[in-house]
Amino acid sequence: MIKGFVLAAVLSVAVVASARPLPNSFVDHRVNSVSGLIREIKTDHDVADRYMRHFSMSEDELISWIGTLHETRLSGAETFQIYSIPPDGHVKMHVQTLRAGERVFCDPSGVPVIMVACGNPLSLGPIKPLTPVQTAESTPAPVLAPTPPLAAVPTPAMVILAPATPEAIEAVIPPLEQPAAPFTLCPPAPCQPNYAPLAGLLIVGIGIGFTGGHEHPHHPICPVPEPAPFAALGLGMCGLALRRRSKKSR
């Protein structure tokens, strides 16, 4: 029975000793100096992981930066954004006013960055310089091997032409063709007299003379049309037609 009570007391002391100094503290054990905080980070993997995630540093960078801090007290009440770690492990931020005389770790410029009582950060830490990004303008161009000389290309022979002279130009340029003779109209042939109509009229007159001058004494004369006038008239008309045709053909 007594042994049971002793075992329970030892376990309770161990639990109390292993508990965080304050709820949601970054450290698992109370620290009073910069060296104690560094020792806590080196010996407790969970504590190192909390600080590395919050400050976005590796363990070596974190220890090197914390080594530049120093412990001091606030000269007056100040309001800070305090970061803490709940049991679920995520980083939580809340605004709180610390009273004058609160112990804090300050950076070389005197800015409070970590609370001594619980190890909770009061800022996001130092601003890390950005690594310059190599660009096409800043990256030096690689040294290229010298280009082998090109094969010798034979130069074509130049042809020198003699200066042009008027005689050469006349020999090259063919003479223009002679213009054709202008069109001329042939003079009309002299008109030859056509006696065909006159011959027809003559024949008509002869026929009338032979037929109209004789009368029978015992019989009365009856006017009978004679074929000769008609023949003469036909010949005259033929002559006129031939004359008009010959004019058209000219």
Query: In terms of C-beta distances under 8 Å and separation of at least 24 residues, what long-range contacts does 62-66 make, across chains too?
Result: 63/38, 65/125, 65/126, 66/34, 66/37, 66/38, 66/41, 66/105, 66/114
Note the pLDDT of residue 70.
95
**Cα–Cα distance, 68 to 113 (Å, whole number):** 12
Task: Specify if 190 maps to a domain.
Answer: no
**Cα–Cα distance, 81 to 16 (Å, whole number):** 28
Task: Specify if 128 maps to a domain.
Answer: no
Estimate the crossing angle of helix 59-66 against helix 34-43, to 10 degrees. Answer: 170
The list of the chain residues with pLDDT below 50 reads 5-6, 10, 13-18, 130-133, 135-138, 213-214
Boundary (domain end) residue, out of 71, 99, 115: 115
Task: Specify if 86 maps to a domain.
Answer: yes
Q: What is the count of structural domains for the chain?
A: 2
Q: What is the pLDDT of residues 76-106, one digit of tens each?
A: 999 999 999 998 988 999 999 999 999 999 9
Which structural domain range is residue 230 located in? 195-206+226-250
Note the pLDDT of residue 71.
95
Note the pLDDT of residue 242.
78
Task: Specify if 7 maps to a domain.
Answer: no
Boundary (domain end) residue, out of 115, 140, 174: 115
Note the pLDDT of residue 235.
77
Task: Specify if 55 maps to a domain.
Answer: yes
Task: Specify if 45 maps to a domain.
Answer: yes
Q: Are residues 200 and 111 in the same domain?
A: no
Note the pLDDT of residue 13.
41
Q: Is 181 helix (H, G, I), strand (E, B) or coil?
A: coil
Task: Specify if 31 maps to a domain.
Answer: yes
Which of 84, 166, 143 lies closest to 117 in space, CA to CA?
84
Boundary (domain end) residue, out of 115, 143, 164: 115
